[in-house]
Amino acid sequence: MKLIKLGLISLIVLGVIITLIGLLFPSTVLVSRAVDIKAPIDSIKYRIGNMEQWKGWIEGMNDASVKINSATDAQLGNTHVQIAQVTDSSVVSTWTSLNGQQQLSTIRIIGNNMQDYAVVQWQFVQQIGWYPWDRFGSMMNDKIMGTMMEQNLQSLKKSLEQ
C-alpha cells in the first residue's frame, strides 16, 4: 500500500514539475522567413493576395485535398484558410485547423514601386495553450513550418524572376 501511495504522489509531483517547466515557454510562437525578389511589387502582391495564384508557389496546392472556394477562401486538407486583409504592403490570412486551433499568417512586401526588387517576409503567429504537451510541442514549430515557408518563398522567387 505504501508503494502505491508513493507512486501516486511521485506521479503528481512529476506532473506539476513538468507543467511548471512548460509554463516557462512563451505562450505565443512566431515563425518568420524572408526572401529578396527581383520583380515589380504589383506582380508580387498579385501572387500572394490571390489564392488561385498560390498553386504556382505553395507546395501541395495542386493536391486533390485542396479546394479553393474563391480568391480569398480555401480548404487545404484539414485546414481552412481565409485571407482576412489585403493592403498595399501585406496579406493577412487565418489558418484554422479542424480542432479550432488558429494561426495568423502575415506576408509583408517591403520595398517601393520605384525599385525593381522587394523583400517578402512571411510569418505565422500561434497562441499556445497552457498544457505541457502544447508548450513542448511548440519547440518544433520553427523547424517544421520554417522549412516549409523557406521552400515556398524560394518557389515564389523563382516563379517571379523568370
Establish if 4 belongs to a structural domain.
no
Window from 14-23, 101-110, 121-130 with minimum mean pLDDT: 14-23
pLDDT at 161: 86
Establish if 102 belongs to a structural domain.
yes
pLDDT at 40: 87
DSSP per residue, 42-88: HHHHHHHH-GGGGGGTSTTTTSTTEEEEETTEEEETTEEEEEEEE-S
Of the pLDDT bands very low, low, confident and very high (cuts 50, 70, 90), residue 162 is confident
Establish if 10 belongs to a structural domain.
no
pLDDT in tens, 70-91: 999 999 889 999 999 999 889 9
Mean pLDDT of 87-102: 90
Number of domains composing the chain: 1
**Do 106 and 126 contact (CB within 8 A), yes or no?**
no
Establish if 129 belongs to a structural domain.
yes
Q: Domain limits at 122? A: 26-160
Establish if 116 belongs to a structural domain.
yes
Establish if 5 belongs to a structural domain.
no
Q: Assess whether pLDDT exceeds 80 at residue 140.
A: no
Residue 39, SS3 per DSSP: coil
Query: Which residue type is seen at 49?
Result: G
pLDDT at 92: 96
- Indicate which CATH number applies to the domain containing 73: 3.30.530.20
Establish if 6 belongs to a structural domain.
no
Establish if 98 belongs to a structural domain.
yes
